[in-house]
Amino acid sequence: MSQPVMLERIVEAGRKLFARQGFHATGMRDIAKLAQVSIGSLYHYFRSKDELFLAVVRKAFEERLVQARELMRQGLPAPEILRQVLTVYFAGFAKEPETAQLLSRVWAPEDPALWRKLSALLEEYAQAIAEILAEAIRAGAIRPVHPLLAAYALLGMAGAITLRAAQKDAVAEEFRRSGAEELAELAWHALRP
């Protein structure tokens, strides 16, 4: 098995188990077993469970950034970019409830030590979103705002909705169904020129 394939299998197994069982209940041996790799191979790629969890979260964030940048390259209007990014974000919840569970664990981690590492990753993600917002400001697509502050505001809204959408009740179902449209509308009202 090639190294990229093995790495992908490990990260995917980690995503599934962290989402399903939580951080503390997931063991490295469980991940190795699901990924069908030896424990030694797992530790070759990730020195700790924290490191693997961060890789799983980073992958989820990077997929969303790639999508947003691609939509910008297509020249779509800013409200449509917001709507599409959030639609894909929330659509993942309906297709894979594990996605909502995993992302909710980012916003409410079980381990305080892990929160410090997640905060650094969220800062990277916020900086990337801020760059996208700054580009939109230069293009006149959104009003002048402090890009990093706006990025954190968007992340905060998405995080709060993610936490609620990860639950198993009628309100959570409604949030999963209409969260993208509502959040895009709220964000656009705050950012429109």
Residues 94/112, Cβ–Cβ less than 8 Å: no
Q: pLDDT band at 27, cuts 50/70/90?
A: very high
Do 65 and 153 lie in one domain? The reply is yes
Look at the chain and report how many structural domains it folds into: 2
Do 163 and 77 lie in one domain? The reply is yes
Do 84 and 127 lie in one domain? The reply is yes
Do 79 and 134 lie in one domain? The reply is yes
Q: Specify the amino acid at residue 31.
A: I
Do 19 and 58 lie in one domain? The reply is no
Do 68 and 137 lie in one domain? The reply is yes
Q: In this predicted model, what pLDDT tens digit does every residue of 72-101 receive, in sequence order? A: 788 888 888 888 878 777 766 666 666 667
What's 162's domain CATH number? Answer: 1.10.357.10
What's 41's domain CATH number? Answer: 1.10.10.60
Q: What's the CA gap between 93 and 170, in Å, rounded?
A: 14
Do 30 and 66 lie in one domain? The reply is no
Tokens of 71: 């939509």
Task: Out of 47, 68, 83, pick the residue that ends a domain.
Answer: 47
DSSP character string of the chain: --HHHHHHHHHHHHHHHHHHH-TTT--HHHHHHHHT--HHHHHHH-SSHHHHHHHHHHHHHHHHHHHHHHHHHTT--HHHHHHHHHHHHHHHHHH-HHHHHHHHHHHS-S-HHHHHHHHHHHHHHHHHHHHHHHHHHHTTSS----HHHHHHHHHHHHHHHHHHHTSSSHHHHHHHHHHHHHHHHHHHHHH--
Residue 33 sits in which domain range? 1-47
Q: pLDDT band at 60, cuts 50/70/90?
A: confident
Do 43 and 74 lie in one domain? The reply is no
Do 31 and 85 lie in one domain? The reply is no
Do 70 and 30 lie in one domain? The reply is no
Is pTM beyond 0.85 here? no
Tokens of 76: 């779509």
Residues 107/162, Cβ–Cβ less than 8 Å: yes
pLDDT computed for residue 94 by the predictor: 64
